[in-house]
Amino acid sequence: MGQTLYDKVFERHTVRRLPSGQYQVLMGLHLIHEVTSPQAFSMLRQRGLSVLHPERTFATVDHIVPTHRQTRPLADALAEEMLVELEKNVAEHGIRFFAPTGGEQGIVHVIGPEQGLTQPGMTICCGDSHTSTHGAFGAIAFGIGTSQVRDVLATQCLALDRLKVRRIEVTGRLRPGVYAKDVALAIIAELGVQGGVGYAYEYAGEVFDRFSMEERMTVCNMSIEGGARCGYVNPDQTTYAYLQGRPYAPKGSAWDRAVAWWDSMRSDADAHYDDVVTLRGEDIEPVVTWGITPAQSTPIGAPLPRPEQFEAEERALIDEAYQYMQLRPGAPILGTKIDVAFIGSCTNGRVSDFEEVVRHIQGRGLKVAPHVKALIVPGSQAVRNELVRRGYDDVFREAGFEFREAGCSMCLAMNPDKLEGAQLCASSSNRNFKGRQGSPTGRTLLMSPVMVAAAAIAGEVADARQVFHIPQEAR
C-alpha cells in the first residue's frame, strides 16, 4: 500500500523517536512575526541559546501594522514596542526581515508563497494558526505556540504526534459565483469545527485540480477552522508554474532536481487514508456565516436554521450565537443590513481575490452604500503594488471603497482597524468569533470577497449572483 504526502513528509523529517513516544520532527521553514515571537526570543536568551538555522527563519510584521499611515514611530506605543522588539531580535540573530520599508512586507501567509519560500514537501511552522495556508503547495504546515517557537528557534525541531489523514474530495465543478471560500465554509459546515482534530486534511478532486494556487491557499488557510492542524493539496504543474522565478525558488538545474523531488513527495495512487469524504462541487452554494463559529453558516438563499434542527447538546451554543448576533431563527440572512465591509486577510487578501471583485464592479457605476464603511486591504505590499499597477486602486476608490496599506487589518483588529459597538461586518476573513474584530460586541459574517463586495454595494447581505448579474450556466 502506498503512502500519502503527509506520511512521506513526516517520515523524511523525523529526526528520532522521543522517550515520550512523540516524534522529533525537523522544520524546513520557520516564519515569525511580532505577536508570538518576542517571548520566545526572551526564553532563548534566558537559557543562553542561539538560533540554530537563522537562514531557514524569516520574519515579517503584519498583525499590528496600521493600514492607514505606517510612518514610524507607530502611533500606538505598544505596537511600536512590538515592532522594535522584532527588529532587535532579527538583527541580533541574523534573520531576514521583510521590513515595512522594503516593499516586501505583508501578512506572513501571503509573503511566504510570494517569495517562493513555501515549497512542496517541506515542513513549515509559524506562531500563527493560519500557517495551514502553506499546505496549498504540498507542504505540511501548521501553527504553533510561543514555547514551540522557542523550540524551533533553538533546535529547528518540534515534538509532534503523528496525525491521521482524511482525504476530502470535491468533485465536478463549482457553479458561477461560487468560490474557494464557499468550498472552505461548506467543508467546515459538513465536518464541524472539531471534525479535523487529529487529522491532516488532503484536499483533492477536480475542483482542487482546477483551482489556482491562490484558491488552494484560501481553502488550506481555513483547515484550522475545521479543527485540522494542517491541510494540503498535492503539488502539480499549477504549483510549479506559480513557484518558478520567485525570489527564493530554486533556479537553473536545481529547479529540475527540485521538481523531481517534489513529484516524488506526492501521495501515491494507492495511498492509505484513514477517512475519505466527498462533496459535490455543483451542490455548493455561496455561503455566509450567521453565528460565532465558522461552522454556523448557511447557503445564502436559505432561511437561518432553527434551534430545534440541532441536537440537544448543541442548543446552548446555537442560542448563544443568535443572541450575540441579534439574528432571528427562520428569517432569511438576505437583506440583513451591514455596517462595515472588509476584503483582505490571509484567507482572501491576494491579487486574484481583488481581481475577481474588480471584474464585477468595474465600469458598472456601482457604489458602496452610503452607510457602509468598506475597506480594501491588500495582504502584502507586493499585492498592493500589483493592484495599483493594474489601476484597481482607482476602481475601488471610485466605487467608494477605502484602499489601504498591507496588513492583517480588521481580521483580528490588533491595529487601529476595528468594529465599533455592535456593528455588523461582512468580512472575507476567517473567524467570526465573538469580539474578533476589535469590539467586544462586534459581529462578523464570513463570506467570499465577491459576496462582501455585493453586501457593501447593496448595504445588506445580498446574493452576489444577483447584484452582479452572474450568469448561471456552467463556467
Q: Which of residues 422-451 bind another protein (CB under 8 A)?
A: 431, 433-436, 438, 440-441
What's the first-to-final CA gap in the chain, in angstroms?
37
Q: Is 121 near another protein (CB under 8 A)?
A: yes
Residue 325 C-beta: closest distance to another protein, Å: 13
Q: Calculate Rg over the CA atoms of the chain.
A: 22
From 257, 337, 364, 475, residue interacting with another protein (rule: CB under 8 A) = 257
**Residue in 426, 300, 435, 430 with CA at minimum distance from that of residue 372:** 426
Residue 470 Cα distances to 101, 236, 264, 334, angstroms: 40, 30, 41, 17
Q: Is 75 near another protein (CB under 8 A)?
A: no
From 94, 145, 245, 330, residue interacting with another protein (rule: CB under 8 A) = 145
Residue 460 C-beta: closest distance to another protein, Å: 26
Q: Is 116 near another protein (CB under 8 A)?
A: no
Query: Rounded to whole angstroms, how far apart are CA atoms 442 and 424?
Result: 6
Residues 402-421, interacting with another protein (CB under 8 A): 412-414, 418
**Residue in 206, 419, 360 with CA at minimum distance from that of residue 429:** 419
Stretch that binds another protein, among 107-115, 254-262, 420-428, 446-454 (CB under 8 A): 254-262
Residues 152-191, interacting with another protein (CB under 8 A): 154-159, 161
Question: Which residues make beta-bridge pairs with 106?
Answer: 380
Q: Is 122 near another protein (CB under 8 A)?
A: yes
Residues 205-244, interacting with another protein (CB under 8 A): 224, 227, 229
Stretch that binds another protein, among 71-79, 200-208, 335-343, 381-389 (CB under 8 A): 71-79
Residue 377 C-beta: closest distance to another protein, Å: 16
Q: Is 114 helix (H, G, I), strand (E, B) or coil?
A: helix
Q: Is 70 near another protein (CB under 8 A)?
A: no
Q: Is 472 near another protein (CB under 8 A)?
A: no
Residue 375 C-beta: closest distance to another protein, Å: 17
Residue 445 C-beta: closest distance to another protein, Å: 16
From 45, 50, 78, 385, residue interacting with another protein (rule: CB under 8 A) = 78
CA atoms within 13 A on the CB side of 419: 27
Beta strands 14-17 and 23-26 are antiparallel
Q: 199 or 208: whose CB is closer to another protein?
A: 199
Number of residues that bind another protein (CB under 8 A): 85
C-alpha cell at 306: 432553527
Q: 360 or 436: whose CB is closer to another protein?
A: 436
Beta strands in 138-229 (DSSP E): 140-143, 157-160, 164-171, 199-204
Q: Are 356 and 450 in contact (CB under 8 A)?
A: yes
Residues 364-403, interacting with another protein (CB under 8 A): none
From 147, 309, 326, 385, residue interacting with another protein (rule: CB under 8 A) = 147
Q: Are 268 and 160 in contact (CB under 8 A)?
A: no
Q: 86 or 233: whose CB is closer to another protein?
A: 86
Q: Are 207 and 174 in contact (CB under 8 A)?
A: yes
Residue 210's CB is within 10 A of a number of other CB atoms, namely 13
Q: 138 or 281: whose CB is closer to another protein?
A: 138
Cis status, amide bond into 440, omega within 30 of 0: no
Angle at 180 between CA 174 and CA 183, to 5 degrees: 70
